[in-house]
Amino acid sequence: MAHPRGDSDLYHIIYASSATERLSQSELLELLKVSRRKNEARGLTGMLLYRDGTYMQFLEGQRKDIDLLLARLRNDPRHEGIHVLREGMLSERLFPDWSMAYKSLGGLRTSSVQGYSERLQAQHLGEPDKPPSEPDAIDLLTGMFQQLLVAR
C-alpha cells in the first residue's frame, strides 16, 4: 500500500467505544469495506477489533487525519463512550500494509473477508531488543481488548 502522505510526524491512537447496536456479520463486513476505502484515501493504517458490541481500533497516520476521523466517530450514532486508551508518536508504521486489518475475536467467519490474514491470527512473540513487529502489535492490541471486555 502506498501512503499518499509522508510518514514524518507519524502519530497513533488506540480508542475503544461501544456500539449503540450490535453489528450483524454483513454489517461488520460493510463497515470494514467502507473503512478500508476511506482510510486508504487518507493515508491511515491500523487494525479494528470488534466483539459483542465493543470496538477497539488502532490507527496510525498524520495527526490531523486521525483527529478528523476521531471527531467524525464522536458524532457517529453507531458509537458511544469513545475513550482514548493510548496515543503518541511512532517511528514507523506497525500496520504498513493494512488500511484496516481485522482480527476475529469470535463469531465472524473471516476466511472470506478481504484484509483477513491467517498471519494476523497467529500468536508471535518478538525479541525484546527489536522494535515491535506487526504480530507483536496484534498481540498487544488483542490483550488490551480482552482486558477491556473483562472490565465492561
Q: Which three cell numbers stand for residue 130?
A: 527489536
**pLDDT (tens digit per residue) in 5-14:** 556 689 999 9
pLDDT value for 28: 84
Range 66-88 average pLDDT? 92
| Global model pTM greater than 0.85 | no
Domains and CATH numbers, the chain: 10-151 (3.30.70.100)
Cell 482510510 locates to 39
Cell of 87: 496515543
What are the tens digits of pLDDT across the range 45-67?
A: 988 888 888 888 899 999 999 99
Model confidence band, residue 115 (pLDDT cutoffs 50, 70, 90): very low
16-52 pLDDT, tens per residue?
999 999 888 888 888 888 888 999 999 999 888 888 8
**pLDDT given for residue 148 in this prediction:** 67
Q: How far apart are CA 65 and CA 15, in angstroms?
A: 15
Stretch 78-89: mean pLDDT: 90
What angle (nearest 5°) sits at the alpha carbon of residue 43, between those of residues 97 and 60?
Answer: 70
Q: What are the strands of the beta sheet with 79-89, ordered from one edge?
A: 79-89, 10-19, 54-62, 45-51, 101-103
Residues 6+ apart with CB under 8 A from 104: 110, 116, 121
Amino acid at 119: R
